[in-house]
Amino acid sequence: MTPTTNAGNAGKIDPRFRGELCRYAMSLGDDSLVLGQRLGEWCGHAPTLEIDLFLANIALDLVGQATLLLDYAGACEGNGRDADRIAFHRDVLDFTNCLLVEQPNGDFGRTIARQFLFSNFQLLLFQALSNSTDATLAAIARKAAKEVAYHARVASEWMVRLGDGTEESATRVRDGLDWSWRFVDELFEAPDAALIESGIAVDPAGFRAEFDARVDAVLRDAGLARPPGRRPILGGRNGHHSEHLGPLLAQMQFLPRTYPDARW
């Protein structure tokens, strides 16, 4: 699949859902963009070269997904913005990513726990979106699902390695899972009802049971318990973010905002 462009896709968008589809594609793109930036912070700092490459490759995949999704959001919007403009020239309150992806890396155990939860969710989401009635969104989802299957598999394997490893590794990944768990319910918030009814978007509640089953199976192998239920923390989809997103964006957007005419 070739990268999406504004000019190439503007004519394929159902005008009845243009605004809703723009917001939906942007939220999916923001998820991948923010987590890709967060994982990039590990570059050169991971525990081993193997892990350094693993996290860097996931970050690159996520940024690639974000480029396609944000380009498509720009096409839906119709104001001439491409992925770069959307990514680097919005304020923090305009981002609609889920709260989980903006959380600090913490130690390696927390990073793996966050990746384990998000990648298993994202895999099921993209598999479902592969059947979207929107041809462009379905094509992006099919490509992304192949990448995310690897992310989910390796993150799950590391959950087992850490949980079933030393006392320290088990403690660290358990703490990371506990930190991340309060943000899981937000992943399953439904997008616009009209998009779901039209078959463009999917309601994540439809695969919540499968997500829970996948998570529980890995936790059993890792010797870890599911964290207790607690009041979910929501708001990211509506631009209400934690204190962690602003500093991340300040770093990510520094060059384009400081030198807006720069060309690479």
Asked if residues 204 and 187 have their Cβ atoms less than 8 Å apart, the reply is yes
Neighbours of 155 (CB within 10 A): 22
How far is residue 112's CA from residue 46's CA, in Å, rounded to a whole number?
12
Residue 21 lies in a domain: yes
Residue 8 lies in a domain: no
Residue 221 lies in a domain: yes
- pTM score: 0.93
Residue 39's closest CA among 127, 109, 95, 115? 115
Range of the domain at 156: 14-226+235-258
pLDDT digits (tens, 9 = 90+) for 197-246: 999 999 999 999 999 999 999 999 999 999 998 889 999 999 999 999 99
How far is residue 175's CA from residue 160's CA, in Å, rounded to a whole number?
14
pLDDT digits (tens, 9 = 90+) for 86-118: 999 999 999 999 999 999 999 999 999 999 999
Residue 130, token pair as written in the block: 């592969």
Residue 62 lies in a domain: yes
Q: What's the CATH number where 244 sits?
A: 1.20.1260.10
* Domain tally, the chain: 1
Mean pLDDT of the chain, nearest integer: 93
pLDDT band for 39, please (50, 70, 90 cuts). Answer: very high
Q: Give residue 247's pLDDT.
A: 96
How confident is the model over 161-180, as a mean pLDDT? Answer: 97
Q: Give residue 264's pLDDT.
A: 64
Residue 196 lies in a domain: yes
pLDDT digits (tens, 9 = 90+) for 134-170: 999 999 999 999 999 999 999 999 999 999 999 999 9
Angle formed at CA 200 by CA 198 and CA 206, multiple of 5 degrees: 90
Q: Give residue 10's pLDDT.
A: 43
User: What is the residue whose two structure tokens read 């009814």?
Assistant: 197
> Hey, CA dihedral for 179, 225, 34, 83, is it positive or negative?
negative
Residue 180 lies in a domain: yes
Residue 263 lies in a domain: no
Q: Tell how far CA 77 is from the center of its chain.
A: 21
Q: Which amino acid, 45?
A: H
Q: Give residue 2's pLDDT.
A: 38
Asked whether the predicted pLDDT for residue 3 surpasses 60, the reply is no
